[in-house]
Structure 1
Amino acid sequence: MKSSQRNPFVHCRFTSLVLSLTLLLITMAVKATDTDDYNLSAAMQPVAQENIFHDDEYFNWGSTIVKGKDGKYHLFYDQMPKKHGFYSWLTDGIVSRAVSDSPTGPWTKVQEVMGGRGDGYWDQYTVHCTKVYEFDGKYYLYYMSTNSGITDLTKEQLQEARSSNWKPGNLRNMLRLNQRIGVAVADNIQGPWKRFARPVFEPQLPIANQSNNVTVTKRPEGDYLMVIRGDQPDQKPHEIIRMQAALLADNPLGPWKMQHKPVVINYNSEDPEVWYDAQRKRYYNLYHAFGYMGMLTSTDGLNWQRAKHYKVADKEYVTTTGETVEVHRYERMGIYSENGKPLVMTAGIFLKNGDTHSLFIPLKQ
């Protein structure tokens, strides 16, 4: 007589097999959709002398590469007069333009593009932390500037503000709190550039006090994403905790709508550089955190997390002669891409001897 009862051992093995196959399929599906595999650190190549851009009279700092209609590469880069010291980025910064036949240099300076407009303008002092983009045949130069409000600074007060360390209540802090983001637009990469009467937005939650470190990218949907750096609200009077926020607009000129969710809130970071990777269908955000360079990622530009290969670099770079150059500051990073492929990483380098240069690191494809 045959039993109608199921063998419990066979049943358990069958159930276990089904669960294993299900987990395997889930794992394969996750791996198939997880495109966060870009390793920027592994792509960074050694630096030759032609990849370093130095100036005897100015501190060279962060930069943006744009390929012109003339087939040449145009570099927009921040400069501060050495006679005023490195900290004059807040008072005396200018943006200049250089050209090259290669996106890694060597570069030749051809033009000082713009600086602060003087009394009566929101961008009275400095043009700094610039980013330049071509969108639909027009060129957009985003920048940070500041002003002294209704206070007319004497030469002595201006010298104090440009050379002193930040302290709550001093003149440098006043100029720091008045930092705003503006944009200039041109039909030609050589200019002229049209500026506007007001910055593109005023600081609002989730950031507080001021805005700086702007980066913009066009989204697949056709609108535009901006990420900026401001202060974290409700911090102690004698400390600065930086954070990043996102804004959206239908036009590169705005109006820009602040998004409620911060990009970065739980650690001190600045100098975001955001681009969209069409192959991976995700955004990347390169930043520095005062000791290392890191990278975030997002599939929508609004919800961010650390990238799989988030640790990009320490404060050092390697030359083609095999030397490891340790530096004091490694900031203002940028990514130049062609045909959707990152080709060059740019950065502002502050050397331990007190000088600076703009750096152009070739990226392995």
Structure 2
Amino acid sequence: MVLAGTISARQLPAQDNLDLGKMIRAVDSSNIFQSPDYYQWCSSVIEGEDGMFHMFYSRWPHGRRTAADDTLNYIFDGFSGWNKYSEIAYAIADKPGGPYHYVKTILKGTGDPTRWDRFTYHNPLIRKFNGEYYLYFIANAFDSAFTVKKSVTPQSLQWLRYNCTQKIGVVRAKTLDGLISGQFDHTPAYIMAPDNQRTYEVATNPAVTQGPDGKYYLLYKSRMPEVGHMTFWMAVADRPDGPFTTVSNVLAGADLACEDPTLWYDAGRKRFYAVAKYYSNAGKLAPQFGALVLITSINGRDWQPAHHSLVSLRQLRCKNGQMIPLARLERPFIYLDEAGWPKALFAAAAVDDPGKGDPEKVRPGNNTFIVQIPLQ
């Protein structure tokens, strides 16, 4: 209700006044989605016509890798398995904050050595455009010819021969039930790859929204040539599945390096927003490496730090008053209600570094989980 003499946030004139940090609320166990057998990461949620909330997320098993298709396959032991063994799974809840319950795996590597998506399916993003459902993702293959200019270990080179084939794809379904049951269009082509001129080595972390001009905006992560630090690029298309054309570099400086964007257009404020993980110690966007930050753009091409750039430090505030520091808080996703208002922040998290320790003995602290943080 809007009282006489006041203006609601949705009626404000176009301005950069979104403060997600102040909207964050405490969590409890119902907001945690975790498995004793799988690392869980990269969540994306949509409300279905059934009133249920449908989560698409990435997961891969704990433990050591025993497949004999690579003599250096041990480089994918434990948490590192995302680069070869991740799959996109599906879970459901009756409210956006959970609790969510695993249902099935939706997509996994084709295993076809002639295809770009031979291995890992990762970074899922679910969107509905023009009455159809689009599930964006990344996958990779293996490039035996890939080399690097500097001296690296055989293990590092082998890792890069998988890692540097990451590209972005999408599947399209007429209904959400069709997507979940496998009735979708899945072309062998990818929609974005690095050109090794402006974008370098990888194209990952797809974030897609429709702008006020009716076009579709794809914000994705790549690396800068030569200097090599992470950066975002913006691509635009007339259709949700492309073809996309890269039009601008987003926050090019190393002191503004980010990854893991989630993107939307705020019609009330007449600007684009994106939440991302800050990948720098420079303190320009946040006082902590790995904090979640907010960036903004009026036209979708030219970006800057938002006025309230800090969304969250690497921590969780619990309803019992406890503040839990985190080693990881990544892959943010903003769930919007039908009016386009942020209602929940989803993120992948771990209390201890999941990349450390014996992969055969995953402890509660370094097992990963997906957290649903209410926004008010």
- In the superposition, the TM-score normalised over structure 2's length comes to 0.80
Amino acid at match of 1:108: H
After superposition, the C-alpha distances for 1:37-92 in whole angstroms (9 at most, x for unaligned) are 00000000001110100111111112111111111110111111112411111100
Aligned to 1:116: 109
Residue 91 of structure 1 aligns to a residue whose secondary structure is: helix
Q: Cα RMSD over matched residues?
A: 1.8
The separation in 2 between residues aligned to 1:318 and 1:251, in whole angstroms, is 40
The answer on whether the counterparts of 1:217 and 1:224 sit within 8 Å (CA) in structure 2 is yes
Q: Which residue of 1 aligns with 2:318?
A: 319
SS in 1 for 2:176: coil
Say yes or no: does 1:47 pair with 2:17.
no
Deviation, structure 1 residue 194: 2.5
Aligned to 1:335: 334
Structure with higher Rg: it is 1
Q: Distance in 2 between matches of 1:198 and 1:314?
A: 38
Structure 1 gap ranges (5+) = 1-31, 152-164
Shift of 1:33: 6.1
1:213 to 205, 219, 231: 205
Matched-pair contact (CA < 8 Å) for 2:208–2:217: yes
Shift of 1:150: 6.0
Paired residue type of 1:272: P
Output one character per residue of 1:137-195: Cα deviation in whole Å (capped at 9) or x when no partner.
111111111001468xxxxxxxxxxxxx9989611011111111111111222322322
Matched, 1:304 2:303: yes
Who is 1:132 aligned against? 126
Percentage identity across paired residues of the two chains: 28
* Equivalent of residue 178 in structure 1, options 159, 162, 165: 165
Question: Deviation string for 1:263-309 (max 9, x for gaps)?
Answer: 12113210011111111111111111242211111111111000000
Letter in 1 for 2:317: V
Q: Which runs of 5+ in 2 are unaligned?
A: 1-11, 64-76, 146-151, 280-288, 353-364
Shift of 1:210: 1.3
Amino acid at match of 1:44: I
**Alpha-carbon separation, structure 1, partners of 2:90 and 2:78:** 21
For 2:135 and 2:98, how far apart are their aligned partners in 1? 21
CA distance in 2, matches of 1:362, 1:166: 44
Give the secondary structure class of the aligned counterpart of 2:117.
coil
Q: Which deviates further from its counterpart, 303-312 or 199-208?
A: 199-208
2:192 to 188, 191, 201: 201
State whether structure 2 residue 174 is matched by structure 1 residue 187: yes
* Paired positions, count: 315
CA contact (8 A) 1:68 1:189 kept: yes
- For 1:224 and 1:47, the matched residues in 2 are separated by 33
CA drift of 1:207 comes to: 1.8
Distance of aligned partners of 1:169 and 1:330 in 2 relative to their CA distance in 1, 3 Å threshold: closer
Question: 2:237: which partner in 1?
Answer: 249
Higher helix share: 1
Report the residue type matching 1:86 in the other structure. Answer: F
Could you say which residue in structure 1 is the equivalent of 2:97?
104
**1 CA distance for matches of 2:323 and 2:143?**
45
**TM-score, structure 1 length as denominator?**
0.83
